[in-house]
Structure 1
Amino acid sequence: MSKNVLSKADLIQEVLERTEGLTKKAVSEVIAATLETITDSVAKGDEVNVIGFGKFSQSQRAARKGRNPSTGAEIDIPAATLPKFTAGKAFKDKVNA
């Protein structure tokens, strides 16, 4: 199964084709503002829930021990805060259809 990759430019073009009366610049600005708002909100520790699409949030990963694959030496891997996306039911249903 070959996969197509939808770039930001492709996303802008898809939205432009599905909407009437919007310019490419306006669509680009709306997408940029949406992504920036989601990023800023999650960075502050807030959750962003888009009903039917999914939820963006933070996930905490605890500190742990690891190994350097080259030397085999044990290393400390620090705790980290990661972005997390949980797909909503409508999104899951469409993907599994």
Structure 2
Amino acid sequence: MTKADTVAQIADATGISKEEVEKVLESFFITVKNSMSGGENIYIRGFGSFINKERAEKTARNITLKSTVIVPAHVVPHFKPSKEFVNQVKEGNKLT
């Protein structure tokens, strides 16, 4: 499902125009990105959590050059779905 499909489906379900739905969705994405870039985690009850995970420094191998490379410690975004989300997907139930 693409962003356009998501916007169309939300617009149909709510009766709000596609343009307004797209603005809200874009604002949500920007808020999530900005918050996580600032080191904040986001918790949405019943849906899931957007959290920053810290990765430790590690040694990796470049097999083409046959050398080792140090990968510095870094932070990566991660989404952890709620139990309700996971159970709904497992059971294949759709909400209306």
Any stretches of 5+ residues in structure 2 without a counterpart?
92-96
- Paired residues for 1:1-12 under 5 Å: 6-12=1-7
Offset from partner CA, 1:10-29 (integer Å, 9 cap, x none)? 11111111112x11110000
Return the letter of the residue paired with 1:75.
Answer: V
Q: State the alpha-carbon separation in 1 of the partners of residues 20 and 62 from structure 2.
A: 48
Give the corresponding residue for 1:44.
Answer: 38
Output the TM-score relative to the length of structure 2: 0.89
Measured after TM superposition, the shift of residue 75 of structure 1 is 1.0
The answer on 1:15 being equivalent to 2:13 is: no
Letter matched to residue 15 of structure 1: I
2:80 to 68, 86, 89: 86
Question: What TM-score does the superposition give when structure 1 sets the normalisation length?
Answer: 0.88
The ranges of structure 1 where at least 4 consecutive aligned residues each deviate by more than 6 angstroms after the TM superposition are: none
Give the unaligned 5+ runs of structure 1. 1-5
Identity across aligned pairs (percent)?
Answer: 27
> What count of residue pairs does the alignment treat as equivalent?
91
Is structure 2 residue 49 aligned with structure 1 residue 55?
Answer: yes
Superposition deviation, residue 57 in structure 1: 1.2
| Residues 20-77 of structure 1: CA deviation (Å, up to 9, x unaligned) | 2x11110000000111111111111111111111000111101110100212211111
CA shift for structure 1 position 92 = 0.5
Letter in 1 for 2:85: F
CA distance in 2, matches of 1:14, 1:80: 37
SS in 2 for 1:95: helix
